[in-house]
Amino acid sequence: MNRSLVIWLAVLVLQLFVAITVAARTVNLFSLIAWLSSISIAVKIFLGKSSPQKHHDVLIPIILAISQLGILGYFSSLPTHYHQDEFITAYTSWTLPPINKLDWFAVYPPVWVSQFPVLFHIFQKPFFFFLGPTVEAV
């Protein structure tokens, strides 16, 4: 059997496993790992072997990241920039359940009308670990 066909079948099996666990609402860490693995395998197949990046190809994202941090610093210094909803979602990030209790493909919190993907809260929570429950963390 062709090697690339076997790899694509593995990607398909992983994706089917993830789809079944999402449909059954039995998502766990293994289904998250299966999802991330299938995506990374597929990306690696599509991209193939890439040539080494040139120096200026790396410089542009660094400049963009630095400018975005400057813009973030400016807007976070404005007292009227924040909205009450940002503090409510920050609270839900702060009180996020343990990682092994999360449904990675669901919205959170499940009882609200306005919900966000759980990854939004996961990306926000580390700021609370470093800065504590402060305005800067929001």
**Within a domain: 136:** no
The domain in which residue 73 lies consists of 55-131
| Same domain (yes/no): 38, 65 | no
**Within a domain: 68:** yes
| Same domain (yes/no): 61, 107 | yes
State residue 115's pLDDT score.
72
| Same domain (yes/no): 72, 10 | no
Give me the DSSP letters along the chain: --HHHHHHHHHHHHHHHHHHHHHTT---HHHHHHHHHHHHHHHHHHH-SPPPPPHHHHHHHHHHHHHHHHHHHHHHT-GGG--HHHHHHHHHHHTPPPGGG--TTSEESTT-SS-EEHHHHHHHHHHHHHH-SSTTT-
| Same domain (yes/no): 59, 127 | yes
pTM exceeds 0.85, yes or no: no
pLDDT above 90 coverage of the chain, percent: 0
pLDDT digits (tens, 9 = 90+) for 37-55: 988 888 887 776 555 555 5
Domain count, the chain: 2
* 79/42: higher pLDDT: 42
**Within a domain: 72:** yes
| Same domain (yes/no): 41, 60 | no
Confidence of residue 110 (pLDDT cuts 50, 70, 90): low
